[in-house]
Amino acid sequence: MDTQDLQERDQAQTKATIDHINNLFKANITLNHNYFKDSSKEFVVTNLIHEMVHAYLLETNSTYRNDPIEQQHNFMFSNFAKDIAGYLISKYNMPNTDAWSLAWSGMGDIFQNATDDERFNTNQGESLSKTEITNAYLPYNYTGDPSSKGTPNCAIIIKLNK
């Protein structure tokens, strides 16, 4: 699949298969170049992890596979966001709030209609508002501004299984 196959509104598309005979898991993740071209490496990595979790769960969890995307994201956040945030903290030495906000950023459909002050859980007993999440992750989504954060991705285009 090429990037031009994606709808303009789609950030990424994932297809996965499991070859049970050879015990192989394969995922084809296509990122929308127009969406990610000015994003930081941290933002791109967060999205790749997010899509890999989708791919794995779609192939291994029949309940998840049949759920609407919002329920899939609720499941992903409940079960994997802590690991995604922990990875970002350890790999990129980023602040806790930034890491959790990036982990939440892929779950946009969950908080898209939330009020700006609605709270979303992060660490046990802690939470961030929709505004705090947005303000923390957006500087990673665009590296062409003096207030941006993260490492420019050097316009890296990743093509898997092509």
One-letter amino acid of 57: L
Closest CA to 54 of 43, 42, 69, 39: 69
- Do residues 128 and 97 lie in contact, with contact meaning Cβ atoms separated by under 8 Å? yes
- CA distance linking residue 54 with residue 28, whole number of Å: 11
Q: Is 1 exposed, middle or buried (0-12, 13-18, 19+ CB in 10 A)?
A: middle
Q: In this predicted structure, what is the pLDDT of residue 7?
A: 56
Q: In this predicted structure, what is the pLDDT of residue 4?
A: 46
Straight-line distance from the first to the last Cα atom of the chain, in angstroms, rounded to the nearest whole number: 7
- Do residues 46 and 81 lie in contact, with contact meaning Cβ atoms separated by under 8 Å? no
Q: Which residues of 121-135 are buried (b: 16+ CB within 10 A; e: fewer)?
A: ebeeeeebbbebbbe
- Do residues 137 and 118 lie in contact, with contact meaning Cβ atoms separated by under 8 Å? no
Calculate the alpha carbon distances from 46 to 15, 18, 24, 64, 67 in Å. Answer: 18, 23, 23, 21, 22
Q: In this predicted structure, what is the pLDDT of residue 2?
A: 45
Q: In this predicted structure, what is the pLDDT of residue 110?
A: 75
One-letter amino acid of 90: S
Q: In this predicted structure, what is the pLDDT of residue 154?
A: 60
Q: In this predicted structure, what is the pLDDT of residue 42?
A: 93
What is the per-residue pLDDT across 56-84, written as a single tens digit (0 to 9) for each?
Answer: 898 888 888 889 888 888 888 888 989 99
Closest CA to 53 of 19, 93, 80, 88: 80
Report residues of the chain scoring pLDDT below 70.
1-10, 108, 111, 154-162
